Copies of this chain bind each other. A is one copy, B any other.
Amino acid sequence: MEYIPGLAGIPVTESKISCIDGQKGILSYRGYDIQELAEFSSFEETTLLLLFGDLPTAEELARFDEQLRENRRVKYNIREIMKNLPPTTHPMHMLQVVVASLASFYPSTEYMKGGTENEGYINDVTVKIIAHMGTLVAMWEHMRNGYDPIEPRKDLTYAENFLYMVTGEEPDANWARLLDAILILHAEHTINASTFTTMVTGSTLANPCSVISSAIASLSGPLHGGANQKVIEMLEEIGAPENARAYIEERLANKKVIWGMGHREYKTKDPRATILQKLSSALLKEKSEELSTIFQTALEVEKICEELLGHKGVYPNVDFYSGILYKEMGFDVGIFTPIFAVARSAGWMAHWREQLQDNKIFRPTQVYKGSGSLCYLPVEKRGDGA
């Protein structure tokens, strides 16, 4: 049997969580178009939808929101663990360490089993992990610079609290609304490498904190997360709007990547980019006088790429817009991928729960291409390799 590199096109599960229609440019969560969710829902509600399959009632949403707010605080031992990491630690590496440690601070009494035996623990730990993700990323932004972290607040939404904890300032309502939409748009995207890692690790019935930590490891790889960071680096290289055309033309002529353009899954425009462009344009008009050079450069790159690449079906993707919006919110590029992880924790946990429902441990096979039977020679009888 031949093997397919990267298992491209090979189904590895039956799933009810999300669906991509790459031809039409539609991404839906549990049947709901993400354009509607980004416009009308919240990250809290979308998370509930992903986890349980239905839009919640007002009461269910209020209870879940309350639980998320109550679970933002982080134990001081966890803060001590963070203090013992070098200040140069990449936020994704910090996150993997600390989320793994949650398995110790919030252990299950039983190992994970399918069925409903552990339902209480499973629900509690789901809230704990998702609530902690934002707090941990925000804490590290202060701690890696030598400052005490800012305590989370209970009176703010998930997105507001994250903005507050990172910037230390009362969150701007417009930015909070945009960040909320970005979290919704990044919460789930079918079976990519980190979600697949979640499934494989989860299939051994490992603790969910261990599972999500391994998904974070997967997302930390530059082939998976990290594209929006590349967008900013590219924009900084361009420097100003008037340099954009020459830069893009040169890269196209030399067949170099233009970061933030096109997406393997979508033949048409990335639907997440469409909604981000729409949501941000109103805000941008209002703030047009304060926009940074880098943002103005991005708008120019967008215009030129639509002109030069649009006929090939290559348009800006979600990384293009999220990258420039994060930058404009004042976030360091180092936390772009961690914010992706914060949002995606909702999808990972949904897939973990789905995996447990009808679990079989992953145990694929290989095409053996190695030596046939060899005879062991004691070291003194081997060549000297000289």
Contacts and interface: CB of A to CB of B under 8 A. Distances in A.
Interface of A: 1-3, 5-19, 28, 30-33, 36-37, 40-41, 45, 55-61, 77-78, 80-81, 84-86, 88-90, 92-94, 96-97, 100-101, 103-105, 107, 111-112, 190-194, 196-197, 200-207, 210-211, 213-214, 217-225, 264, 358, 360-380, 382-385
Contact of A365 (B12, B94, B193): B12
A383 B2 CA distance: 51
Given A55-B377, A383-B57, A220 B196 contact: no
Contacts of A376: 32-33, 36-37, 40-41, 55
26 contacts: A3-B11, A3-B12, A3-B13, A6-B364, A8-B360, A9-B364, A10-B10, A10-B365, A11-B367, A14-B368, A32-B374, A33-B373, A56-B379, A58-B382, A61-B379, A93-B100, A93-B104, A192-B363, A197-B201, A200-B218, A204-B224, A205-B221, A206-B224, A210-B217, A211-B217, A223-B361
A38 to B, nearest CB: 10
Contact of A364 (B12, B58, B371): B12
Contact of A204 (B211, B219, B377): B219
Contact of A30 (B18, B111, B370): B370
B60 A385 contact: yes
A104 to B, nearest CB: 4
Contacts of A85: 77, 81, 101, 104
Nearest to A80: B84
Contact of A58 (B97, B100, B218, B384): B384
A330 B17 CA distance: 48
A88 B106 CA distance: 11
Contacts of A380: 58
Given A16-B369, A88-B107, A213-B100, A382 B57 contact: yes
